[in-house]
């Protein structure tokens, strides 16, 4: 009888260890999620470029390269590098211009990549997704449980993981890092 209880206790011990291990692994996976950034209106001030809308309608991609940064870039880059060192991935999820042609899509994609190379040169993005205007962003990315920073409320609502507006990007990243 005594022996049986001992045996049972051992099994319970093993089981609780097993559960514990599963929990910590899950926790680790949750912690190391991808952090995604929208570009226009989130990190790049497209809408402040003079005549941005007529230019876009005219298939001129210059507003995308001319857009001023909306965040302190040196601080952002330092934080993104730190997050990656801690195992997080960093991604971009951004739309092309509304009602665009295939030719303009290519120009806009190149302009967006150029903006990232100019302003966040030290950041090696794990994922850059640039897709058709209006595509649900949760369907564009690899990590659907990731974090999204996006200035548009419908995008934040549609997102499956945590989504934040653009007001406290640096402060939120500091908390995760
Ligand atoms: Mg936006």
CA of 47 to the centre of ligand 1 (A): 10
Per-residue model confidence as pLDDT tens digits over 35-67? 999 999 999 999 999 999 999 999 999 999 999
Provide the pLDDT for residue 1: 53
φ and ψ at 46, to 5 degrees?
A: -55, -45
CA of 106 to the centre of ligand 1 (A): 19
Together in a domain, 10 and 37: no
CA of 37 to the centre of ligand 1 (A): 9
Characterize 79-103 residue by residue with b for buried, 16 or more Cβ atoms within 10 angstroms of its Cβ, and e for exposed.
Answer: bbeebbeeebbbbbbbbbbeebeee
Task: Please count the residues of the chain.
Answer: 177
Domain tally, the chain = 2
CA of 87 to the centre of ligand 1 (A): 26
Statement: residue 9 has pLDDT above 80? no
Domain holding 19, by residue range, is: 1-31
Together in a domain, 6 and 68: no
CA of 137 to the centre of ligand 1 (A): 11
Per-residue model confidence as pLDDT tens digits over 84-120? 999 999 999 999 999 999 999 999 999 999 999 999 9
Confidence category of residue 25, pLDDT binned at 50, 70, 90: low
Together in a domain, 111 and 143: yes
Question: Using CA atoms, how far apart are residues 138 and 159, in angstroms rounded to an integer?
Answer: 5
Provide the pLDDT for residue 114: 98
The pair of three-digit structure tokens given for residue 13, joined into one six-digit string: 């011990």
Q: What is the average pLDDT across 70-77? A: 96
Q: What is the 3-state secondary structure (H, E, C) of 82-104?
A: HHHHCCCEEEEEEECCCCCCHHH
Q: Is 163 helix (H, G, I), strand (E, B) or coil?
A: strand
CA of 27 to the centre of ligand 1 (A): 31
Under DSSP, the state recorded for 162 is -
Question: Using CA atoms, how far apart are residues 102 and 11, in angstroms rounded to an integer?
Answer: 63
Q: What is the 3-state secondary structure (H, E, C) of 115-140?
A: HHHHHCCCCCCCEEEEECCCCCHHHC
Dihedral of alpha carbons 92, 97, 99, 104, sign: negative
Per-residue model confidence as pLDDT tens digits over 118-169? 999 999 999 999 999 999 999 999 999 999 999 999 999 999 999 999 999 9
Confidence category of residue 2, pLDDT binned at 50, 70, 90: low
Together in a domain, 99 and 130: yes
CA of 143 to the centre of ligand 1 (A): 19
Together in a domain, 14 and 40: no
CA of 123 to the centre of ligand 1 (A): 20
Together in a domain, 18 and 91: no
Question: Of residues 163 and 22, which shows the higher confidence score?
Answer: 163
Provide the pLDDT for residue 139: 97
Statement: residue 22 has pLDDT above 60? no
Together in a domain, 135 and 84: yes
CA of 78 to the centre of ligand 1 (A): 23
CA of 152 to the centre of ligand 1 (A): 6
């Amino acid at each position: 009888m005594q022996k049986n209880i001992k045996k049972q206790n051992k099994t319970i011990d093993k089981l609780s260890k097993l559960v514990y291990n599963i929990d910590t692994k899950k926790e680790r996976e949750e912690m190391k999620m991808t952090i995604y950034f929208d570009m226009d209106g989130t990190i790049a001030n497209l809408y402040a470029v003079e005549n941005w809308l007529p230019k876009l309608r005219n298939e001129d991609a210059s507003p995308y390269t001319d857009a001023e940064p909306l965040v302190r870039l040196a601080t952002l880059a330092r934080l993104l590098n730190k997050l990656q060192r801690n195992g997080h991935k960093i991604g971009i999820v951004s739309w092309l211009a509304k009602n665009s042609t295939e030719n303009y899509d290519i120009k806009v994609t190149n302009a967006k990549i150029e903006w990232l190379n100019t302003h966040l040169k030290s950041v090696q993005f794990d994922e850059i997704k640039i897709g058709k205007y209006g595509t649900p962003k949760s369907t564009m990315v690899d990590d659907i449980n990731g974090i999204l920073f996006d200035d548009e409320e419908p995008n934040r609502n549609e997102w499956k993981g945590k989504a934040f507006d653009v007001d406290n990007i640096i402060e939120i990243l500091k908390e995760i890092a």
